[in-house]
Amino acid sequence: GGSTSEILRVLGGPAIGDIRSRLVRLSRCYLERPGVGSDERRIVHLLEHRLPSEVESAQAEWSKLLEGQHSLYTGLDGAYVQVIQSFLLTFHTEIMRRAVAVDCGLSTEVDGVVGEFGVEAHRRFDFRRASVGNCFFTGVRLHFGSLPAAILMWTRIARVPPETKVLPSVNANFMMTIGAELENGTRLIGQTNISHPPAPTGGTKDTGKLPLPSPVK
């Protein structure tokens, strides 16, 4: 849906989309158990939600989420609403701060990242198709300054099976870019270039069916 890349573009930090999707899957496993309450189901449904693909509709929905007036909150215990709302506000405050920074001509360095993302990182956030779960998760991470703390908060509010332990493969609060060196000497930088390498003749990336041009070294 592009939500993770938009968060990276504006805020930097670790890519959290894959973590969030795994947490959602674990939450769904928990929901299959007998005796699960309606609050848990409503929370998971809310965090799975994506904003509309049209700009004005997306911004209108986002405003309702911040104000606690969105229909997704209907029937949800007020304490849960306040927790989710507060971390969405944390996320919103930070993206607004970045927007003000570019308007004022301040530094383009974001979380120590310049260059590929630095110049664009202060542009206004594009809410189209934004994942509410990604925004919530990022708000928690920003508040505590900790990726494990964000994971823990998710497991508490959206529930995952209690016997499950979720650990990030890389525990960092800054953006990291993966790369691969192939046996033929080629270096591929970025997940997209590795999972969808360019066609042998160059040009656009393939559909994921072509193999790497050479084995990983």
Confidence of residue 176 (pLDDT cuts 50, 70, 90): low
Residue 196 has pLDDT above 80, yes or no: no
17-23: long-range contacts at Cβ-Cβ below 8 A with a sequence spacing of 24 or more? 17/131, 17/134, 19/137, 19/147, 19/151, 19/166, 19/168, 20/47, 20/131, 20/133, 20/134, 20/137, 20/154, 22/166, 23/133, 23/137, 23/151, 23/154, 23/155, 23/158, 23/160, 23/166
Span 68-112, pLDDT tens digits: 999 999 999 999 999 999 999 999 999 998 887 655 555 444 444
Residue 121 has pLDDT above 80, yes or no: no
